[in-house]
C-alpha cells in the first residue's frame, strides 16, 4: 500500500472531534518506570502497535470529517530531559497544599497539552497519538501516551498499555504471538454501524420528546458549587486509593446488595455533594449521573477488547437526593435505574440524542449553568478495569501508572476512572479547575471514602 486510505467519522466520533478542541477528550496513560527502557526498542514497539492497529497511524481530517490511515507507522517518541521535567514539576500548581507525585503531576501536564485546540470548522489535518518520555530527577522515568478520545475509549487505553508492556517485556517474537491471538487487521467501523438491528429504533416523535425532555431537565439539575466560572480551565486529578482489606470489604458490600461498583461510587458522590451544600433534612436536589458502557461484546458482530477505537455509549439518569439518606439505599436506586435503562436499550436508542445535545452545548455554552459547560455532576463507568498482573510488570520496571481523560471543556464536574489493581481500588477523579478547586475536590473525595467505609450517610 503506497497511499493513505480514509474512513468517515461516525456520529459519536464526530461529537468527540468537536469536544476535544475545547479541552475534553484528551486521553492519557502515564507509566512510572524505575528502569530506563531501551529507546530504540520502545520506538520499535510503538511502530509495531501502529502496524497492528491501523487506527493508531491515522490522522484526523476535518473536511470531510474522516480518518486518513497512513500506510506506515510514523509515531516518534519525544524525550524530555531532567532540567525540563524539573521545571514542569515546579509549576504554580505545585505550591498548593495538596502535594502530588511526579507521575500524577506529569499526568495532569499531559491532560492539558492540546494539539487539537483549533477551529474544528477550518481545514485541519492532525495526528491522533503522541508519545513522550520524561526523565525524573530521582533517575525514574515517566512514559506517557496521549490520544484523541475519538479513537481511544478507556478499553482501548487499557489494551494499548497491556500490549506495550508485552512488547517491552518479551521482545518482538513473544509479542507477535500475543498479537496473533487477538489481532486487528483493519480499521473498525463506527459504533453506530455495529448496533444490532432494531436495538436503536425509536419513533421520530419519541426522539423529539426525549430531546426536549433532556433539555428541560438540564435546567433543573443541581451541580457542585462552582468556585471560578470566568478563568480559563485545565483538567486536574484527585486520586483515591483503598488498601486490599478496604477494597475487599467494599466490593463484598456491593456483591451482597446485587449492585455494581459504579452504583456505590455514584451514590457516595451524590451524598457527599449534597451534604456540602448544608441543606435542611427535608430539602432535596436533583443531580445527573452519566454511566458509560463498553458496547464491544453486545455489538454485531461482537468485538474484543483489542479492537481499538471508541465503542462506549452513555446513559444519563437523574437522581433526587435528600440529606440523611443511607449510601446503600441510594446506591441500589442508582444502579437499578441504570440497569433498567440499559435493559431498555437506552444506551443505543439515545446515543444520537446525547451526541446532538453535547454538540449544541459546545456551540452554545450559555445553555449550561453559568456557561460552565457542565452537563452532569458525575460520570462513571459501568465496570471497573480489573488488573491482576501482579509482579509481572516489575520486569520492565513498572512502579505505578495512571490513566484518564480530560474534562475541562464540556462534561461532568467529576469523571471517575476506577481500577481494581491486584485487589486494591485505585480511582482517578478528573475535574475542571478552577471551576472546582483541588481543595474542594480533595474534601469531596475524602467524604466519599468516609461514606463508603462507614456504610452510612
Domain shared by 165 and 293, yes or no: no
Cα angle value 262/287/100 (rounded, 5°): 60
Higher pLDDT, residue 307 or 208: 307
Q: How many domains does the chain have?
A: 2
Rounded to whole angstroms, how far apart are CA atoms 73 and 355? 31
Neighbours of 11 (CB within 10 A): 15
In a domain, 136, yes or no: yes
Per DSSP (E only), the strands in 55-191 are 58-61, 66-69, 77-80, 125-127, 129-135, 141-148
Domain shared by 367 and 242, yes or no: yes
Q: Name the least confident of 94-103, 245-254, 375-384.
A: 94-103
Mean pLDDT across the stretch 339-352? 95
Is the separation of the CB atoms in 298 and 428 below 8 Å?
no
In a domain, 400, yes or no: no
pLDDT class of 205 with cuts at 50, 70, 90: low
Q: SS3 of 139, please? A: coil
Domain shared by 206 and 130, yes or no: no
- The last residue of one of the domains, among 163, 191, 219, is 191
Domain shared by 180 and 273, yes or no: no
Domain shared by 241 and 111, yes or no: no
Mean pLDDT across the stretch 382-407? 89
Which range marks the domain in which residue 147 is found? 5-191
Q: How much of the chain, in percent, has pLDDT values that exceed 90?
A: 79
- The last residue of one of the domains, among 191, 226, 242, is 191
Q: Is residue 177 over pLDDT 70? A: no
Domain shared by 84 and 164, yes or no: yes
Q: pLDDT per residue over 50-65, tens digit each?
A: 999 999 999 999 888 9
Mean pLDDT across the stretch 112-131? 84
42-45 long-range contacts (CB < 8 A, ≥24 apart) are 42/77, 42/133, 42/143, 42/168, 43/76, 43/77, 44/172, 45/164, 45/167, 45/168, 45/175
Reported as type and span, the H/E element at residue 241 is strand 234-241
pLDDT for 2 equals 44
Beta bridge partners of 62: none
Is the separation of the CB atoms in 420 and 387 below 8 Å?
yes
Q: pLDDT per residue over 91-109, tens digit each?
A: 665 445 678 999 999 999 9
Rounded to whole angstroms, how far apart are CA atoms 41 and 52? 16
**Full-model pTM:** 0.94
Please state, rounded to an integer, the average pLDDT across all residues of the chain: 90
CATH code for position 291 = 3.30.559.30
Q: Is residue 302 over pLDDT 80? A: yes
| Backbone conformation region of residue 349, classed left if phi is above 0, alpha if psi is from -120 to 50, else beta | alpha
In a domain, 348, yes or no: yes
Q: Is residue 409 over pLDDT 80? A: yes
Domain shared by 107 and 208, yes or no: no
Domain shared by 90 and 236, yes or no: no
Domain shared by 229 and 90, yes or no: no
Mean pLDDT across the stretch 144-154? 97
Amino acid at each position: 500500500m503506497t497511499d493513505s486510505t480514509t474512513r468517515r467519522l461516525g456520529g459519536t466520533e464526530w461529537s468527540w472531534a468537536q469536544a476535544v478542541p475545547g479541552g475534553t477528550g484528551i486521553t492519557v496513560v502515564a507509566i512510572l518506570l524505575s528502569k530506563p527502557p531501551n529507546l530504540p526498542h520502545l520506538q520499535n514497539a510503538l511502530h509495531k502497535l501502529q502496524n497492528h492497529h491501523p487506527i493508531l497511524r491515522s490522522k484526523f481530517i476535518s473536511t470531510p470529517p474522516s480518518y486518513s490511515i497512513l500506510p506506515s507507522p510514523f509515531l516518534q517518541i519525544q524525550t524530555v530531559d531532567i532540567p525540563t521535567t524539573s521545571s514542569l514539576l515546579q509549576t504554580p500548581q505545585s505550591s498548593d497544599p495538596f502535594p502530588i507525585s511526579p507521575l500524577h503531576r506529569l499526568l495532569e501536564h499531559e491532560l492539558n497539552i492540546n494539539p487539537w485546540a483549533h477551529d474544528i470548522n477550518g481545514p485541519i489535518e492532525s495526528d491522533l497519538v503522541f508519545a513522550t518520555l520524561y526523565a525524573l530527577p530521582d533517575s525514574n522515568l515517566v512514559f506517557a501516551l496521549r490520544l484523541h478520545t475519538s479513537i481511544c475509549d478507556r478499553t482501548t487505553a487499557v489494551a494499548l498499555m497491556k500490549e506495550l508492556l508485552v512488547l517491552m517485556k518479551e521482545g518482538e517474537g513473544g509479542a507477535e504471538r500475543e498479537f496473533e491471538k487477538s489481532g486487528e487487521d483493519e480499521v473498525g467501523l463506527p459504533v453506530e454501524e455495529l448496533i444490532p438491528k432494531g436495538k436503536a429504533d425509536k419513533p421520530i416523535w419519541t426522539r423529539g420528546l426525549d430531546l426536549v425532555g433532556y433539555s428541560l431537565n438540564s435546567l433543573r439539575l443541581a451541580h457542585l458549587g462552582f468556585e471560578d466560572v470566568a478563568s480559563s480551565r485545565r483538567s486536574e486529578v484527585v486520586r483515591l486509593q483503598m488498601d486490599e482489606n478496604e477494597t475487599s470489604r467494599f466490593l463484598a458490600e456491593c456483591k451482597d446488595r446485587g449492585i455494581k461498583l459504579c452504583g456505590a461510587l455514584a451514590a457516595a458522590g451524590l451524598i457527599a455533594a449534597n451534604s456540602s451544600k448544608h441543606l435542611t433534612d427535608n430539602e432535596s436536589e436533583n443531580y445527573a449521573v452519566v454511566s458509560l458502557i463498553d458496547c464491544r461484546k453486545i455489538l454485531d458482530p461482537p468485538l474484543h477488547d483489542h479492537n481499538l477505537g471508541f465503542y462506549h455509549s452513555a446513559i444519563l439518569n437523574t437522581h433526587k437526593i435528600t440529606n440523611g439518606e443511607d449510601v446503600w439505599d441510594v446506591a441500589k436506586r442508582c444502579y437499578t435505574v441504570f440497569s433498567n435503562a440499559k435493559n431498555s436499550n437506552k444506551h443505543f436508542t439515545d446515543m444520537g440524542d446525547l451526541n446532538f445535545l453535547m454538540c449544541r452545548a459546545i456551540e452554545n455554552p450559555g445553555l449550561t449553568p453559568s456557561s460552565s459547560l457542565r452537563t452532569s455532576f458525575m460520570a462513571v463507568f459501568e465496570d471497573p478495569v480489573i488488573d491482576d498482573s501482579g509482579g509481572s510488570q516489575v520486569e520492565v520496571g513498572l512502579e505505578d501508572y495512571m490513566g484518564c481523560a480530560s474534562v475541562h471543556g464540556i462534561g461532568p464536574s467529576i469523571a471517575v476512572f476506577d481500577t481494581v489493581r491486584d485487589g486494591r481500588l485505585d480511582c482517578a477523579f478528573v475535574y475542571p479547575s478552577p471551576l472546582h478547586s483541588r481543595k474542594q475536590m480533595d474534601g469531596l473525595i475524602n467524604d466519599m471514602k468516609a461514606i463508603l467505609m462507614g456504610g452510612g450517610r
